[in-house]
Amino acid sequence: MAITVIKRTKDKDEHNIPYLMFESKEIEIVPYGAENPTTMWMVTVTPVDEELKAMGEYIRYELPKDEESFHKLLRLEANERKTLEKKYCTDPEWNPNYKNNNK
């Protein structure tokens, strides 16, 4: 499971939601008529506050690729728009320009 948090831009929104949290998770399903389960990646998008508490309903959808590729691309695009909130993100090695200071 990985989490990426993006700051919402200041548009004219009456809901005043500061962040969107993208949480991915691998789930196992058994298709109808199949004997063996298969896995798929799902992402849940939730509007959250500064404490990452839900501020509304979430939406969930299937990821077209793997978890790492999804979060890396999402973070790259958010970083370019200066909306990536790295302090809330898991798996920091997926962040753009990541440098491991433990080496």
pLDDT (tens digit, 9 = 90+) per residue, 44-88?
Answer: 999 999 999 999 999 999 998 889 999 999 999 999 999 999 999
State how beta strands 19-29 and 2-7 pair.
antiparallel
Q: Is the pLDDT of residue 13 over 90?
A: no
Q: Which of 25, 31, 34, 22 is nearest to 71 (CA)?
A: 22
Token couple for 32? 């109808």
What does the DSSP 8-state code read for residue 16? -
Domain boundaries, the chain: 2-7+16-93
The amino acid sitting at 12 is K
The predicted model scores a pTM of: 0.84
What is the predicted pLDDT for the residue at 16?
A: 83
CA 20 vs. chain centroid, Å, equals 8
The amino acid sitting at 38 is T
Token couple for 66? 């793997």
